[in-house]
Structure 1
Amino acid sequence: MKERIIFHVDVNSAYLSWEAVYRLQHGESIDLREIPSIVGGDESKRHGIVLSKSIPAKEYGIVTGESVYSARQKCPNLTIVPPNYERYIKASNSMISLLNEYSPIIQRFSIDEVFMDCSHFKGKDFLKIAYEIKERIKEELGFTVNIGISSNKLLAKMASDFKKPDRIHTLFPDEIKEKMWPLPVGELFMIGVKTQRKLNGRGIYTIGELANLDRKYIYSWLKMPGLLIWEYANGIENSPVRSISYPVKSIGNSTTTSYDVDNRKEAYMFLLAISEMVGMRTRDLKLCGKVVSVSIRNEEFYSYSHQRKLDVATNSTNTIYETSKKLFDEMWDGKPIRRFNITLSELSSSDFYQLSLLEGYSEKDEKLNKAIDRIRCKYGYNSIIRSCFLHSGINPIIGGVMEEEYPMMSSII
């Protein structure tokens, strides 16, 4: 494959930046980016998480994914604003429109990340073009981006994560040894906390130490996921930039029960049935999600919810279900339930995740999900079900689509 020129454009503190720009455009005098502030869930219910933070908030030790309640304890004068996904999609679309002036081959990896195939710039000063793009986004749209440049998507993404904000970095194969190998192994794309601990446990602390392991050794230890991160550590990744849209902000399903659910066993079965639908829809759209949210409504019509951010994005039915069970156990007070909902958000393309779910990854689980999806798509949802639903009176796959949601399964070829 001839060497390509790939840009990875990553919005700095996306949700918070977009929120700040919107508010400034509508008359507010305070820039959220310049004060301790976050975009996050409902503080009063103590279950929301930090989705995006300002640099001043980061200085208080606030991290993305922690609870809003915890963030407030660290910074009593913290400004908290609720998320507005429709607003963020519009901001993202505005950026895509600008980027389309430079390349017709654009892949939305997530709502705030874009890959661009800029190989047609070869022979030209592509760095000058990257700076032009960065400055136009800042001047015309009001927010800043990092742009990583390389010959493949992985290295371009790693480059954009170097020093922030409002920067441009290159990471070509001949720069890997100097720029990437000295970094902590946990900074390599797709390595979560659990995998980092495994690697550290065997004396592997830098990306370079991982890259220089014997290929056969890493495969014998971690199988295909291990081989994949070994390839990433060596800068090996050849997937094309696919011109696909990214219209989905979250994937969720819910059900209202015909009777009061007053025991944990039945509640788990409803969660499993919904997880089946959420997992199928996510895989069908070739996406993965990093935040799992569960909400329930009791017989008194009181609703409450919890959410959790995963180390690594997933589209596994079992992972969604197991996480949902934990969230349910955290919040259920024993009162009869009449409605369940599960939502998967912070979505991104599944391009990099096909074999790389190291956090609890199971190749068998992945293959099983794909096989079951094909059977259900061809013969119907109930053509293959879990035995626990037999004679239970509970549908094995449940999913009323939320109003703001997008398509059900289409087809799988």
Structure 2
Amino acid sequence: MPEIYFHIDVNSAFLSWTAIRLLAEGESVDIRTIPSAIGGDMSKRRGVILAKSIPAKAFGVTTGEPITDALKKCPTLRTFQPDHKYYHECSHRMLTLLEGYSPDIRPYSIDECFMTYVPFKNGGETPQNAAEHIRKRIQSELGFTVNIGISTNKLLAKMASDFKKPNLVHTLFPEEVPQKMWPLPVRDLFMVGRSSARTLELLGIKTIGDLAHTDPSILTSHLKTHGQTIWEYANGLEYTPIDARRHVAKGIGNSTTLSSDIIEAAAARKVLLSLAESVSSRLRQAGQCAGMVNVEIKYHDFSTISHQMQLLTPSQNTQILYQYACQLFDEAWNGQPVRLLGIRTSKLTSADALQLNLFDTAQNKKLQKLDKALDDIRKKYGKDAVVRGSFLKNK
């Protein structure tokens, strides 16, 4: 029997978890049953919808739109501040429950994870029965609902969990792909973003089935290696096993919404330097070096662009990450006012296992010593004990 994977996805996670907390605090109305949403802090210019209830969705409220726009669609919309610490506690409780069913669990995000199916007695003799048992137990013991997708690989399990919601179990085995997945719009396929979807639709590829039956060489000529990847996904092919090392980070990053829009490159570089310090510090704490750097820019009109670049030698050094980030910013910025900047690193490599390029060794040793000295000072005396001169305000 082939290995079976579950993908467990919390339905409207932030809103569901907030509803649970409010009910425990004495709230009489379950906010999941009324037009409601979780939104950022308007005072800090993070006033966007992070999660919405099904009744709010009926008014046309969408995730990612400004709260002010959502209120125009639904004047009775109740909004609540996110509580990320509590959300992590809820996520942890779910993972702890799932660990009783499988030794192989991999969180994919705060509200979803993969796990391998292991049969168990009294309700778990088949994958479908086991998933139903787990779904019901999460609802009864933890108070929120999940969708569970079942398949022989992670891709199809994740696609299955995105079928009709909420609080349901769906299968998507390879033999079910033509019937269940191919009729869906191509934009619904995992890893097909808005830009890729536009390109595919211009090629006359409207459904996942159209994509599955397209010559891969046509796709790679327009989308490079990504075209080959999504062709494989459209055909249900994905061979990566679940990584049970739950706490190994796949990427480390940080972003900040600015108190006022930035209109000058010099001001943006100061923010990028602060972000580079934060990200590089977290890399060093994790014992990782980054092989890829990505810079995200969100403009005043909420449009977003990001650029990435591979490092010649993986690094965890502040100055090196900052230099790459500045180069990426200069390439991506179109001169419009900026409201958010972010730096994310990926392709992480263990710092202990990294073999530095011979020509980089002397420079890297100096930078490593500087970073270590700053880390030691901040660890002993606080993060503000040493401040870069460029961060000091003019008198």
How far has the Cα of 1:373 moved from its partner?
11
Match of 1:269 in 2: 269
Alignment CA distance shift 1:308-1:286 (3 Å): farther
Gaps of 5+ in 1: 255-261, 295-304, 332-340, 355-365, 367-371, 385-394, 405-413
Matched, 1:329 2:331: no
1:89 and 1:165 mapped to 2: Cα distance?
21
Do the aligned partners of 1:288 and 1:313 also contact (CA within 8 Å) in 2?
A: no
* 2:79 counterpart of 1:80: yes
SS in 1 for 2:165: coil
How many residues of Structure 1 are paired with residues of Structure 2 in the alignment? 342
Partner SS for 2:337: helix
Aligned-pair CA distance for 1:35: 1.0
How many Å apart are 1:162 and its aligned residue?
Answer: 0.2
In the other structure, the counterpart of 1:388 is none
Q: Compared with structure 1, are the counterparts of its residues 267 and 100 closer, same or farther at alpha carbon in structure 2 (3 Å cutoff)?
A: same
- Shift in Å, 1:37: 0.9
Q: Does 1:42 align with 2:26?
A: no
Taking the aligned partners of 1:7 and 1:135, their CA distance within structure 2 comes to: 15
Structure 2 counterpart of 1:152, one-letter code: N
Find the counterpart in structure 1 of residue 159 from structure 2: 158
Pairs within 5 Å for 1:236-275: 236-245=237-246, 251-252=253-254, 264-274=264-274
Letter in 1 for 2:364: G
Counterpart of 2:2 in structure 1 is: 3
Q: 1:380 aligns with which of 361, 364, 372?
A: 364
Partner of 1:222 in structure 2?
223
Q: Aligned in 2, Cα 1:25/1:222: closer, same or farther, shift over 3 Å?
A: same
1:145 Cα deviation after fit: 0.1
2:168 aligned residue: 167
* Matching residue of 2:319: none
Q: 1:272 to 1:44 in 2, by over 3 A?
A: closer
Cα 1:374–1:242 change in 2 (3 A) is: farther
C-alpha distance in 1, partners of 2:163/2:292?
A: 24
Q: CA deviation at 1:272?
A: 4.0
Give a deviation string over 1:194-245, Cα, whole Å, max 9, x none: 1111111110000000110112222233211110011111111111111233
Indicate conservation of the 8 Å contact 1:147/1:169, yes or no: yes
Distance 1:131 1:201, change over 3 A: same
CA shift for structure 1 position 106: 0.2
CA gap of 1:149–1:263, structure 2 versus 1, over 3 A, is: closer
Match of 2:31 in 1: 32
Q: Give the structure with higher Rg (CA).
A: 2
8 A Cα contact 2:150 2:156, kept in partner? yes
Letter in 2 for 1:329: P
- What is residue 21 of structure 1 aligned with on the other side? 20
Partner of 1:369: none
Tell me the equivalent position of 2:102.
103
Letter in 1 for 2:6: F
CA distance in 2, matches of 1:148, 1:86: 27
Which is bigger in relative contact order (C-alpha 8 A, separation at least 6)?
Answer: 1
Q: Cα gap change, 1:43/1:243 in structure 2, threshold over 3 Å: closer, same or farther?
A: same
Which runs of no fewer than 5 residues in structure 2 stay unpaired?
Answer: 257-261, 311-323, 349-353, 384-395
Matches within 5 A, 1:302-381: 321=329, 329-331=337-339, 342=341, 380=364
Query: SS of the residue aligned with 1:64?
Result: coil
Retained in 2: the 8 A contact 1:275–1:321? Answer: no
1:198 and 2:199 are equivalent in the alignment:
yes
Over the matched positions of the two proteins, sequence identity in percent amounts to: 40
CA–CA distance in 2 between the matches of 1:146 and 1:172?
16
- Once the two structures are TM-superposed, the CA of residue 140 in structure 1 deviates from its matched residue by 0.1
Residue 314 of structure 1, CA deviation: 8.1
Deviations 1:71-109 (A, max 9, x none): 111111111111111000000000001100100100000
Contact 1:271 1:325 survives alignment (8 Å): no
Give the aligned residue type for 1:268. A
State the match for 1:299 in structure 2: none
Letter in 1 for 2:229: L
**1:251 positional shift:** 3.9
Secondary structure at the residue paired with 1:235? coil
What is the CA distance between 1:25 and its match in structure 2?
1.3
Q: State the distance in 1 between where 2:215 and 2:186 align.
A: 16
In structure 2, the CA distance between the partners of 1:95 and 1:196, relative to structure 1 (3 Å rule), is same
Distance 1:291 1:224, change over 3 A: closer
> Is the 2:14–2:38 contact (alpha carbons within 8 Å) kept by the matching residues of 1?
yes
